[in-house]
Structure formats: structure tokens, C-alpha cells
Structure 1
């Protein structure tokens, strides 16, 4: 069975590209391959620049604090990104569903993959499952894949650092 590539891995790829943008075409290819993305066309500087522009739009979805606004912003991305769902075996690795036309440049593939993956993430796990790190001075975006749905930090490191900061502030206040 071939699992649908739109979902958690797509959102994780989007976060990876936002928080650590690849500096070269080769780095972009390597990052996408690390997330098992099949690249059909040569990657160019345009792909990196257009993907960065898309990711800036995608961050507005993460930054939306109201669920209706988040849905509106994501629907706008989906409107420009996705085609009708289709079965494909384009890489001879098993039949699966794509929400994009065949033969698209990498930036179009990423736009669709990340937009649809985000929609599936929010619809399946909850509209509140995106945010910015609550640690002072961080602000990195995150997607909450936790069982409880109560994530507020981008990583355990930031959560621990913030807990230590709060503990020290309380200890200083008691003195």
C-alpha cells in the first residue's frame, strides 16, 4: 500500500523549508529528497525564490489566530495550488493520489503538497494545530502533531529553556 504523501510529512517539509531555507538548488533538491519527494523536472533558482514567496504566504496561515481566517487564507492557497485529485503511478512505486497536474516545476509541487497537507492536518487534528513558539525571543512556526494537541513551543529545547527562565524568575521574585 502506498500512503498518501499529503499530510504530516508535507507540513514537516514546509516547516523545514521555512526555518532553514536551502541556500542552493542542490540543497533544495537534497531537502526534498530527504522527505521522499519525487522531483520530476530540473530544479532552478526560480524554484527556490518562488517557494520562498509561497512559504511567506503559508506563514500567514500559521499566524492566523481565528479559525475562520485561517481557513480563508488556506483556501486561497489551495485555490492557486491544487488540481482535481487523480490516481498516479508516476514513479512506478505504487498507485497513489495527487492533487496536482503532472509535469509541474518543483515550486508548484511544493505549493500543492504543503497546502493540501496543511488542510489535511488542520481538518484531521484541529484548526488550532499551528502556531508560533511561545518561548521568549523564538517565534519559530510549528505544527502540533502531539497526542494532546496542546503544543506551544517549536521544540523541547525551547520549552525547557522557557521553563528554566520562568523558574529563575519565580526564584528571584521570592528573594
Structure 2
């Protein structure tokens, strides 16, 4: 059984590209391959630049706190990202669904993959499951993949630092 690659992996790839942008074409290829993305065409500087521009737009989805606004921003990204869904076995690794035309440059593939993946993540797990870290001084974006859906920090380290800060503030006031 070949699982649909859209959703969690696409959102994790987007966060990886946002928080640690690849420095060159080889790094971009390596990052995409690490997330099992099949790359059909050579990667160019255009792909990195266009992907960075798209990710800046994608971050506006994360920053929207009103759910209807979040949906509207994501729908705008989806409007330019998707083609009709199609079955493919392009890598001879099993039939699966693509939401893009074949032969697209990497930037276009990432736009579609991340937009559709984000929509599936929000629709499947909850519209509130994107955010910025709640720790003081950290604004790192995160996607909540937790079972409870209550993630507030980008990492356990930020959550722990914030808990220590709150504890020390309580101790000083007593």
C-alpha cells in the first residue's frame, strides 16, 4: 500500500525549509530527497528563490489567527498551486495521487505539495494546528502533530525554557 505523501510530510518539509533555508542547489536537492520527494528536473537558483517567496506567503497562513482568514489565505495559495488530482506511478514505487502536472520545476512542485499538504493537515487535524512558538523571544513556526492538539512551542527545549522562566518568576514573587 502506498500512502498519500501529502499532509504531515509536506508540512514538515515546509517548516524545515523555512527554519533552515538551503544555501545552494545541492542543499535544496538533499533536503527534498530527505523528505522522499522525487525531483524530475534539475534544481536551479530560480527554484530556491521562488520557493523562498512562496514560503513567505505560506507563513501568512500560519500567522492568521482567525480561522476563516487562515482558510482564505490557504485557498489563495491553493488557487495557484494545484492541478486536477491524477494517479501516477512515475517512480515505479506504486500508484499514488499527485495534485500537480508532470514535468514541473521544483519550486512549482513544492508550492503544490506544501499547499495541498497544509490543507490536508488543517482539515484532518484541526484549523488551529499551525502557529508560532509561545516562548518569549522565539517566533519559530510550528505545526501541531500532537495527539492532544495543544502544542504551543516549536520544540520541547522552548517549552522547558518557558516553564523554567515561569517557575523562577513565581519563586521571586513569593
Structure-2-length-normalised TM-score: 0.99
Residue of structure 2 in register with 1:117 after alignment: 117
* Structure 2 residue aligned with 1:159: 159
TM superposition outliers: structure 1 runs of 4+ over 2 Å: none
Q: Which runs of 5+ in 2 are unaligned?
A: none
Cα deviation, residue 22, structure 1: 0.5
Cα displacement (A) at 1:173: 1.4
For 2:20 and 2:167, the matched residues in 1 are separated by: 30
Q: 1:62 Cα deviation (Å)?
A: 0.3
CA distance in 1, matches of 2:18, 2:62: 12
Give unpaired runs (5+ residues) of structure 1. Answer: none
Matches within 5 A, 1:2-17: 2-17=2-17
Quote the offset at 1:172 in angstroms: 1.1
Q: 1:131 aligns to what SS in structure 2?
A: strand
Give the superposition deviation at 1:144.
0.3
User: How does the TM-score come out when normalised to structure 1?
Assistant: 0.99
Where do residues 3-152 of structure 1 align in structure 2 (5 Å cutoff)? Answer: 3-152=3-152
Within 1, Cα distance between the matches of 2:46 and 2:137? 32
